Chains A and B, each alone.
Chain A
């Protein structure tokens, strides 16, 4: 109890620390990207890792303060989404040491964290009748899936740019900075896999929740439909990747289409999902 009240008292400060550290991480990433200086990339990683720590504490504080998992309205969700992207960024960096990744991913993390504060609201937008453990699980895996697919998208873009430079023999800015095609491709494959599993879990848990709330597993509500389409796009991509026909460029194109579909899915909040 002492701990939780202490957590709540220092909430503003953890938020400020999070935002400042992410912003510093972003700045150093961009600087490291342009200047190609290893030291900035390392500093950026340090800042983001500390920012992530404070972000985690902030989410805990939020959770303790409101006595529920902080994912029940738009700002909370955006904040949690930023946390998921930050998490995937660090895992990817730890796995592949891609120096330039921060310059691509951190702008969104910073934007989401700061943006969520501008539209901050305290209400619990989920009707009390619908509150159950499933809602928290359902929404968190959904955001994890979005974050992983964002990484798939970013690695697809990096692949396309690098492949184009290599094919056109343009040995310029991006050629020097982007990782090898192999690394882009592996990152794409892995994040796709994680994202796909998370998205499948989202759909399954959503159906179970729907069954409890409305008595039906599937209601063809717009968001459900959009999710299904997105899921299908990624299923095609996954199938394409797993089948032997290996073409990074085509896979990269699909990952971009998939991400556009995600943006659409994220935006569709009417019908049964209107309270988000």
Chain B
């Protein structure tokens, strides 16, 4: 009915190598769009290409099967024969296509549910299509609705609130204990890759007092300089745990570095001020038993994973509310499209009535013989007034009923009535 066609593949239907072959990088994008819009019957088009999905969205004319066209196009582009790529492709037409796009933009179809990048990717792919001039009224209006839907999902549901990476889960845990991170001092033990990642993440998250210690002091000093942290001697580990509030450990040590008696004594010395251990090393550097001490909180990599799981679970719950928003916006957009469709019918109605009146006028003029130009002018203006008076109530009714249930039936009826005699036979 709307002639929207969407087809493509994503992380669920195709493996990475296939996705890579089908993907459009920024250089291929505009050529791809040009080729697509040059295909017969394609009115508007857009390519959505990210590392997890390649999708083509087109608005075609009445006679064109958009899905078939997109499938061939993707097969050509990826240089994968059609029979091989076809099982990996999904396709949607009209309302399901609109729904799919809205869900993608709202990150309901993402690999990591609710991840925020996808909206930006949809936006930049849309801009590329705008620059190539392949977007018209329909896709423009469709994409604006998709962006609005995504924004509503983000603000009205809590889908994006729960961090789902291990590092952000660690920060979330620490915040559940200390609230603000800014006033707390943090000790990172181990200057390996994980230690570096932890330092970078912590300084990005606004941690101010960062300390780093490592068995090899040179490595610690170099890395500490990078992140405005202070390198402290490994021999004084106990002293620095005493001075800090949060301890990240990620060393390659195979033995326990921080044990129960040590922490017990430290807690006594620091007068029970809360202390958090985040131990991301395998095997563990911190004896899990320290977590039983009052005001000591100790988490290992499995615990962080459990937080991530729990957060994903919350996202799934929030997604249910998001789906409702998407459904509502899909319906709103479809209603809008139907009103778009009314406009050409309105023109047709008016044209047909004028046509009939003019025909009758000419027939009449033939019968009564030649007339003064002034009289002809009078007659012409009269029939155009008649045409207007017949057309006007019809058009008003048509315009007002575009969102009602009967509008399709009503348009059908009008279409039949105003068909010219030739068409009818």
- Listed in ascending order, the chain A residues whose CB lies under 8 Å from chain B are 36-37, 39, 162, 166-167, 169, 171-172, 175-176, 179-183, 244-249
List residues of chain A with CB within 8 A of the CB of B291: 167
Contact B177 A181 (CB under 8 A): yes
List residues of chain B with CB within 8 A of the CB of A179: 179
Contact B314 A246 (CB under 8 A): no
A180 with B273: in contact, given A169-B306, A248-B295 (CB under 8 Å)? no
List residues of chain B with CB within 8 A of the CB of A37: 156-158
Contact A246 B272 (CB under 8 A): yes
Contact A176 B314 (CB under 8 A): yes
Contact B158 A36 (CB under 8 A): yes
List residues of chain A with CB within 8 A of the CB of B297: 166-167
Query: Can you give 23 A-B contacts (C-beta < 8 A)?
Result: A36-B158, A36-B161, A39-B156, A166-B297, A167-B291, A167-B297, A169-B299, A171-B309, A171-B310, A175-B310, A176-B310, A176-B314, A180-B177, A180-B179, A181-B178, A181-B179, A182-B177, A182-B178, A182-B179, A182-B180, A246-B272, A246-B295, A247-B272
List residues of chain B with CB within 8 A of the CB of A181: 176-179, 274
Cα–Cα, bound, A248→B271 (Å): 12
List residues of chain B with CB within 8 A of the CB of A167: 291, 297
> Shortest Cβ distance from B81 into chain A, in angstroms?
48
A249 with B294: in contact, given A36-B158, A37-B156 (CB under 8 Å)? yes
Contact B271 A246 (CB under 8 A): yes
Cα–Cα, bound, A171→B303 (Å): 9
Cα–Cα, bound, A180→B291 (Å): 18
Cα–Cα, bound, A9→B309 (Å): 59
List residues of chain B with CB within 8 A of the CB of A182: 177-180
Q: Choose among A166, A171, A183, A244 the residue that contacts B271 (Cβ–Cβ < 8 A).
A: A244
Flag B303-315 by CB within 8 Å of A: 1 or 0 each: 1001101110010
Q: How many of chain B's residues have a CB under 8 angstroms from any CB in A?
A: 28
List residues of chain A with CB within 8 A of the CB of B299: 169
List residues of chain B with CB within 8 A of the CB of A162: 176
A247 with B178: in contact, given A36-B158, A37-B156, A171-B307 (CB under 8 Å)? no
Q: Does B397 contact A (CB under 8 A)?
A: no
Q: Does B12 contact A (CB under 8 A)?
A: no
List residues of chain A with CB within 8 A of the CB of B294: 247, 249
| From A36, A244, A248, residue with most partner B Cβ within 10 Å | A36
List residues of chain A with CB within 8 A of the CB of B179: 179-183
> Shortest Cβ distance from B202 into chain A, in angstroms?
17
Flag B261-301 by CB within 8 Å of A: 1 or 0 each: 00000000001111000000000000000010011010100
Cα–Cα, bound, A245→B267 (Å): 10
Q: Choose among A36, A39, A171, A245 the residue that contacts B272 (Cβ–Cβ < 8 A).
A: A245
List residues of chain A with CB within 8 A of the CB of B157: 37
> Shortest Cβ distance from B372 into chain A, in angstroms?
73
Flag B174-194 by CB within 8 Å of A: 1 or 0 each: 011111100000000000000
Cα–Cα, bound, A182→B157 (Å): 27
Cα–Cα, bound, A233→B271 (Å): 22
List residues of chain A with CB within 8 A of the CB of B306: 169, 171
Contact A166 B156 (CB under 8 A): no
> Shortest Cβ distance from A109 into chain B, in angstroms?
26
| Contacts A167-B297, A179-B179 known; 5 new A-B pairs at CB < 8 A | A36-B161, A166-B173, A171-B307, A171-B310, A247-B272
Q: Closest chain A residue to B307 by CB distance? A: A171
- 4 smallest CB-CB distances across A and B, nearest first, come from A171-B310, A182-B179, A180-B179, A244-B271
Cα–Cα, bound, A77→B294 (Å): 41
List residues of chain A with CB within 8 A of the CB of B161: 36
Contact B176 A175 (CB under 8 A): yes
